[in-house]
Structure 1
Amino acid sequence: MAAEPEDEPLPTSPSRSPSFKGHLKLGDFAYKDVPQATRRSARLLGFQAPKGTQTVAKPDGESTAASTSPGGPSTAGPSERKRRRTEDTGGDAAEDAPEKKDESKDATSLAPMFLKGAARSARSLAIMTKRQKTRAAAPSDGGKNGSGYAPPSTYAHLSGVPDALAPGLLVMFVGLNPGVQTARTGHAYAHPTNLFWRLMHTSGMTTRLCSPSEHLDMPRLFRLGLTNIVARPSRSGAELAHRELDAGVAVLEAKARRFRPEAVCMVGKGIWESVWRVRHGRAIRKTEFSYGWQPESENMGTAAGVAKAVAAANSVDPSFVSADLVGEGMEEAEGAADWGGARMFVATSTSGLAATLPLVEKERIWRELGVWVEQRRAEREAAAAAEA
């Protein structure tokens, strides 16, 4: 359809056919084969083109320089103003100088980036080397340390907590190790969130609620003793090495052999797992674990149990075992072959961080041991009264 002239008035009669007047003129957008030159900044249009270039005209009347060399179009230098000043004052050598200077400037401008990258790489390498040296200096247990392991030097400023043990105990309670609050006060289970003293009372093993400051009086007051599988303090059990726990089993066997309690209570599943690992040479299976009383074959303090635990501890690391205590336990074992060891009871952990079981379940498990303690205490009192 032919285009209508631009000066023709718009149709007003409804009988006229519709037109595209006032709409897009598609002809303006049709492809035209016109050579296009690279556009340049307006401030660069006035500089003199160097030798070896020709001017290419643009459709709007502007002109730009294009290279005639075989290498293709030339690229403008980073500083055109400096080039213009040089061309006004110099000869042929001045034309090449800006190019050489620009190249050196480009190379120089890249140098700081390479230097910064090299510096960062050097710092990263130094940090990695320092970490490797720290790991190499730390004692190794063949990869058996936990991820949160803290060496003894971390809490070297804290003192341990003394055992509360004596001959003729009803129960010897075995904790994991002293916590920071316990080590600071010098009394067992001293953290306010620890449930030990509460469970001791609600289970019936103590006739009243005792305080941590009375822990050394427990053998005299209630015939109950307290000790730990690891003597050194830490913030949590995750900071202990597995080899420390395994070596501590020998110390427990020796203490049981020396003081001969009627029963030994592990205050926490993890302690019993260490004892099992030393005795059986492998980790305990879920189907093999249960809270409460353990089979008679698991009694603690027998001659065979002490000997096996000492051998296992020496193979792990003899430095964790007190030679004097283990030796004394072995002497007791050699002179008392008729003693069958202490009964083994596994109770829940009393730590405030142990939230796997609800409180009612913990109280039920501890009450099972409390019933036995009440019964044995009554039998002892009756026997003492009969002898009097």
Structure 2
Amino acid sequence: MNRPTREELAAAVGRTVADVIAPNLNVLFCGINPSLYSAAVGHHFARPGNRFWKVICAAGFTPRLLSPHEEQALLACGCGITNFVERATAQAAEIKNDEFEAGAARLLAKALQYRPKIIAVLGLEAYRRAFHRPHAECGRQIERLGEALLWALPNPSGLNAHYQYHALVELFSELRRFSQST
């Protein structure tokens, strides 16, 4: 996969990346929104430095390290990917509260249509904003979306310095263990 040029990144503003989704998944990962890099190449968590693929492999969701262009292989592992906000931005800080609220409504519609067991929101602040839970912590949440349990996890972006790789792996591993026990 070639790195997008500066021009291709600029042209990716507002683009979307298709969901990786199917009925009855064990875990539907919900990102904040696509990065310009992901939108330019058309795959989730594609920006170099994003730790998503390494973390889910180390946590046991996948039998081997997948690359972003192999994202459809997640479905065979019982996992999928969607986003709160569909449009790509340079920074998540560009997203307004009403976009998170609209994203929560779209996520509910997906929960009702596809019936995942667990929806894991990847971004604690995104979870707090979308569901009006300013003090939510990582882990299982009290709310449900349809029948789906909700789980909040840190954003695996390499730009998220609050969580180091090993801490992310432990938090994602806790979700995997829980998803296998339900």
| TM > 0.5 fold call | yes
**Is 2:90 the partner of 1:240?**
no
- Residue 195 of structure 1 is matched in structure 2 by 51
Report the Cα offset of residue 192 of structure 1. 1.0
**CA shift in 2, pair 1:245/1:348, >3 Å:** same
- Residue 130 of structure 1 is matched in structure 2 by none
1:296-333 per-residue CA deviation (whole Å, 9 max, x = no partner) reads: xx0112xxxxxxxxxxxxxxxxxxxxxxxxxxxxxxxx
Native 8 Å contact 1:159 1:186 kept in 2 = no
Say which SS state the counterpart of residue 217 (structure 1) adopts. Answer: helix
**Is 2:41 the partner of 1:185?**
yes
List gaps (5 residues or longer) in structure 1.
1-153, 278-282, 302-340, 377-388
Native 8 Å contact 1:203 1:371 kept in 2 = no
Q: In structure 2, what residue type is equivalent to 1:299?
A: R
Q: In structure 1, what residue type is equivalent to 2:123?
A: G
Report the Cα offset of residue 210 of structure 1. 0.6
1:201-251 per-residue CA deviation (whole Å, 9 max, x = no partner) reads: 0101111111100113321x2111110000000011011122111111100
- Residue 5 of structure 2 is matched in structure 1 by none
**Is 2:116 the partner of 1:269?**
no
Say which SS state the counterpart of residue 145 (structure 2) adopts. Answer: coil
List gaps (5 residues or longer) in structure 2.
1-9
TM-score by length of 1: 0.43
Q: In structure 1, what residue type is equivalent to 2:29?
A: F
Q: Tell me how far apart the structure 1 counterparts of residues 11 and 41 of structure 2 sit (CA, whole Å).
A: 14
1:171 corresponds to which of 27, 33, 40? 27
Say which SS state the counterpart of residue 192 (structure 1) adopts. Answer: coil
- Residue 161 of structure 1 is matched in structure 2 by 17
- Residue 348 of structure 1 is matched in structure 2 by 154
Choose 1 or 2 for highest CA Rg.
1
Say which SS state the counterpart of residue 189 (structure 1) adopts. Answer: coil
Q: Tell me how far apart the structure 2 counterparts of residues 241 and 373 of structure 1 sit (CA, whole Å).
A: 31
**CA shift in 2, pair 1:269/1:214, >3 Å:** same
- Residue 71 of structure 2 is matched in structure 1 by 215
Q: Tell me how far apart the structure 1 counterparts of residues 119 and 140 of structure 2 sit (CA, whole Å).
A: 10
**CA shift in 2, pair 1:156/1:351, >3 Å:** closer
Q: In structure 2, what residue type is equivalent to 1:365?
A: L
TM-score by length of 2: 0.88
Q: Tell me how far apart the structure 2 counterparts of residues 197 and 374 of structure 1 sit (CA, whole Å).
A: 19
Say which SS state the counterpart of residue 248 (structure 1) adopts. Answer: helix
**Is 2:141 the partner of 1:291?**
no
Q: What does 1:124-143 align with in structure 2 at a 5 Å threshold?
A: none
Native 8 Å contact 2:118 2:179 kept in 1 = no
Deviating 4+ runs (over 2 angstroms): 154-159, 357-360, 372-376
Q: Tell me how far apart the structure 1 counterparts of residues 161 and 12 of structure 2 sit (CA, whole Å).
A: 29
Q: Tell me how far apart the structure 1 counterparts of residues 116 and 158 of structure 2 sit (CA, whole Å).
A: 28
Report which structure shows greater RCO (CA 8 Å, sep ≥6).
2
Bigger strand share? 2
Tell me the percent identity. 32
Q: Tell me how far apart the structure 2 counterparts of residues 217 and 244 of structure 1 sit (CA, whole Å).
A: 29
Task: Give the count of matched residue pairs.
Answer: 173
Bigger helix share? 1
Report the Cα offset of residue 372 of structure 1. 2.6
Q: In structure 2, what residue type is equivalent to 1:250?
A: A
Q: Tell me how far apart the structure 2 counterparts of residues 188 and 264 of structure 1 sit (CA, whole Å).
A: 16
CA RMSD between the two structures: 1.7
Native 8 Å contact 2:97 2:130 kept in 1 = no
